[in-house]
Amino acid sequence: MEKHVTTETTERPSEFQQEFRLREEPDLWRIIGSSKEIKDVLENIQIVLESDIPVIIQGETGTGKELVARAVHYRGIRSKNPFYAINCAAIPENLIESELFGYEKGSFTGATQQYIGKFEKANGGTLFLDEVNGMSLTTQSKILRVIEEQCFERVGGNKSIKTDVRIVSASNQDLLEEIQENRFREDLYYRIAVFKIEIPPLRKRQDDIPELVHCFVKRYNTLSGKRINNVDPSTMEKLVQYHWPGNIRQLQNAIRRAILVAVTNHDVLLPEHFDFPDVKESNLKMVESLEFGLSKLEVSLKRGEVIPLSEVEEVFIRQALSITQGNISEAAEKLGVSRSTIYRKMEDYGIKADDSK
Ligand SMILES: Nc1ncnc2c1ncn2[C@@H]1O[C@H](COP(=O)(O)OP(=O)(O)OP(=O)(O)O)[C@@H](O)[C@H]1O
Ligand SMILES: [Mg+2]
C-alpha cells in the first residue's frame, strides 16, 4: 500500500505548482462518486464553504481526507489566499514548533536565517492539520493557545504576530476515543472539531466503485499512452467485492498497476491484471500504525537526520508482531532474539501484543 507523507516541506509541490495543477488538471481534484454516502460528504462541504468554521475530517487511510480539505479551501471564501498543509504525525517532535511558528535568525544553532512558519504563511487562508491525532500533548497545548489568542511568537522571537487562519484538520482515529485514552486534549477537540465530516470507507459505498474505476482507467490510460477502454464484467465484479483496506488510494494504484501490466494489444482489463492482497480489516489499524512509523523514519532519513536505533527497533518489532498476529515467541524467533529480550523491549516501547491481533 502506497503511503505518501503529506508535508509541505518534503514531497508537496510548491504553492505555484499546486495552483497550476488546480487550474490545469481539475480532474485530479474532482471528488468522484454518486453514492448516498459521498453525496452527504459533498453536502457537508457545501455547508461550510461560506464560513470560517473549523472542520475536522475523519476517515480511514486513503478515503480522500486531503481531497476534501482542499475542496473546503479552494471552493470556499478563502480560496484566493494560501492553503498550507502540515502532517502533524510525520514531523519529528523537535521540529514541529519551528514548522508551525517559524523561528528567528540565531535562535538556535543552525538557525542561520529567519524562517516563516505555517501559521504565518497561511495567514488569510487555511491551515490543514493532517493526522492531527499524531500530535504530542505539548504541541496540542501550543496550538490551542494560538487558536484561542489568535497570535503567536516565532521561536526565539518576542514579537507577537497576529494570525487569521481557518483550521481544517484530518484524523484517521476517532478523536473521542483518543480523548478517553488521554492522548488528545478535550479542549482542543472542541476548538477544531466544530463541524465534522466523516468519510465512509470504500467498502461501505461499493456503488461508487464502477465510476471510480472508469475514471481512473481513463486517467491512467491517457498518462500511459495505452488504449484500454473497457473493464471485463468479471473484473468489475471482483473490484466491487474486494474490501479495499487502503480505500481509494489502493484502488487508484491497483488500476494504475493493472494498466501497466496489461499487454499493449489488450483493450480490456482482466482479473489477472490485478492482485487482491488479503489484508484483514482487523489488521488495518496495525498496518496503518506501522506505515505511520515507517513514514516517520522516511522523513527523518530524507532530512539527513540520524535516527536513534530505539525508534527503528520499535517499528520493526511492531512489524514482526503484526506478521505473527501478536505471537511473541514466533516474533522473537523471526527477529532472532530471545523471548525475554522482546518482552523487555515491548515494555520499553509500550507495545502490547494485543495491538496486533
Ligand atoms: N472521491 C474521490 N474521487 C477521486 N479521487 C479520490 C477520491 N477520494 C480519494 N481520491 C484519491 O485517492 C488518493 C488518496 O486520497 P487522500 O490523500 O485525500 O486520502 P487521505 O484520506 O488523506 O489518506 P491518508 O489518511 O492516508 O492520508 C488521492 O490520490 C485522491 O486524489
Ligand atoms: Mg492524507
CB atoms within 5 A of ion ligand 2 belong to: 6, 65-66
Q: pTM of the prediction?
A: 0.75
pLDDT at 295: 63
d(Cα 291, Cα 1) in Å, to the nearest integer?
9
Amino acid residing at 243: H
Q: How confident is the model at residue 4 (pLDDT cuts 50, 70, 90)?
A: very low
Q: Which CATH architecture has domain 281-356?
A: Orthogonal Bundle (1.10)
Which residue type is seen at 334?
A: K
Strand 102-103 relative to strand 230-231: parallel, antiparallel, unpaired? unpaired
**Low-confidence winner among 4-18, 105-119, 203-217 (lowest mean pLDDT):** 4-18
Task: Flag whether pLDDT at 68 surpasses 80.
Answer: yes
Take residue 150 and report the three cell numbers written for it.
Answer: 489568535
Cα dist from 43 to 35, 38, 169, 303, whole Å = 12, 9, 18, 40
What is the number of the ligand closest to the CA of 292? 1
Average pLDDT in the chain: 84
Long-range contacts of 333-340 (CB under 8 A, 24+ apart): none
Would you state the pLDDT for residue 356?
Answer: 54
Q: How confident is the model at residue 117 (pLDDT cuts 50, 70, 90)?
A: very high
Nearest atom (ligand 1) to Cα of 3: 26
Once rounded to an integer, what is the mean pLDDT over residues 270-286? 69
Q: Which ligand has its closest atom nearest to the C-alpha of 37?
A: 1
Q: How confident is the model at residue 185 (pLDDT cuts 50, 70, 90)?
A: very high
What residue's CA is closest to ligand 1, atom 30?
64
Residue 15: the pLDDT is 44
Among protein residues, the one whose CA lies closest to atom 15 of ligand 1: 64
If one compares 93 and 356, the residue with the highest pLDDT of the two is 93
Mean per-residue pLDDT, 234-263: 88
**Lookup: cell for 304:** 539527513
Strand partners for 268: 230
Question: In the prediction, which pLDDT does 23 show?
Answer: 42
Residue 282 has pLDDT above 70, yes or no: no
* pLDDT higher than threshold 90 for residue 213: yes
- Architecture of the domain whose range is 15-200: 3-Layer(aba) Sandwich (3.40)
CATH 1.10.8.60 fits 203-273, yes or no: yes
pLDDT at 275 over 60: yes
Distance (Å, whole) CA 4 – CA 23 = 23
Look at residue 322 in the predicted model and tell me its pLDDT: 78
Distance CA 72, CA 74 (A): 6
284-321 pLDDT, tens digit each: 556 556 666 776 676 677 667 788 888 888 888 888 88
Task: Kindly list the strands in the beta sheet with 55-58, ordered across the sheet, starting from the edge strand earlier in the chain.
Answer: 83-87, 126-130, 166-171, 55-58, 195-198
Work out the angle between the directed axes of helices 209-224 and 233-241 (0-180°, nearest 10): 120
Q: Report the SS3 class of residue 59.
A: coil
C-alpha cell at position 48: 461550510
User: Is the Cβ atom of 63 under 6 angstroms away from ligand 1?
Assistant: yes
E strands in the chain: 55-58, 83-87, 102-103, 115-116, 126-130, 151-152, 161-162, 166-171, 195-198, 230-231, 268-269
- Domains of the chain, by residue range, sit at 15-200, 203-273, 281-356
